[in-house]
Structure 1
Amino acid sequence: MADPMRIRASANGDVVEVKILMRHDMETGQRKDAAGKVIPAHYIKTLTAKCKDKLVLDAQFGPSVSKDPFLSFKFKGGAKGDKVAVTWVDTKGDTRTDEGTIS
């Protein structure tokens, strides 16, 4: 299991801004190790974010996303104290879900 995501969410009026730092190696499948063998692809494929059981973000990543990706997005409909749950699934089927509270 990967390290926890850092999730910061803040409300400004009726708009909530969410910032996420994900810990993941994001291997493209094109690099080689010291022995010259190709390192298999291993990257986040999908990411979803929900607030009050409502889907507010549905993203699909590819191998070109950098290691430890940072993502920022805004949505309407959240309020201070609500939870934002973020879930990702990678190419090996590993999954991670973390929550942040809107401040």
Structure 2
Amino acid sequence: MARTLINAPTRARRGEVIEIRATIGHPMETGFRAGEDGKVLPRNIIQAFSCRYNGGLVFSAELFSAVSANPYIAFHTVATDSGTLVLNWEGDNGFTQTESISLTVLP
């Protein structure tokens, strides 16, 4: 399980634009770099990120080997209803990480 840090409001007014910021601890090895022993380190990157708000996709990104370690992603969405934001990272070697946060929408 990777370490994640998510910064998002827990409350917002209906129609308000909110910002979600997320980072995940991950080495993002390109598969081109040599290790201390001189052997090429195997590729190990996060390939995809998505965020669903009450089941509907609000943001997705395809990541590549040029992305730095511990990738940081920030995006905006509109607060429509109270519910759950589900953030999902997928990568090489069967890596998956899913985090959920609750959002309360006020009238």
Under TM normalisation by the shorter chain, which class is it? Answer: 0.7 to 0.9
Select between 8-17 and 84-93 the one with higher mean Cα deviation.
8-17
Q: Provide the C-alpha distance between the structure 2 equivalents of 1:15 and 1:46, rounded to a whole number of angstroms.
A: 24
> Residues 10-49 of structure 1: matches in 2 within 5 Å?
10=9, 11=12, 14-49=16-51
Q: Which has the larger radius of gyration?
A: 2
Q: After TM superposition, where is structure 1 displaced by more than 4 Å over at least 4 residues in a row?
A: none
Q: Note if contact 1:8-1:19 (Cα within 8 Å) is conserved in structure 2.
A: yes
How many residues align structurally?
A: 101
The DSSP-based 3-state class of the residue aligned with 2:8 is strand
TM-score, scaled to structure 2: 0.84
Is it true that 1:7 corresponds to 2:6 in the alignment?
Answer: yes
The DSSP-based 3-state class of the residue aligned with 1:63 is coil
Gaps of 5+ in 1: none
TM-score, scaled to structure 1: 0.86
Q: Note if contact 1:45-1:89 (Cα within 8 Å) is conserved in structure 2.
A: yes
Identity across matched positions, percent: 30
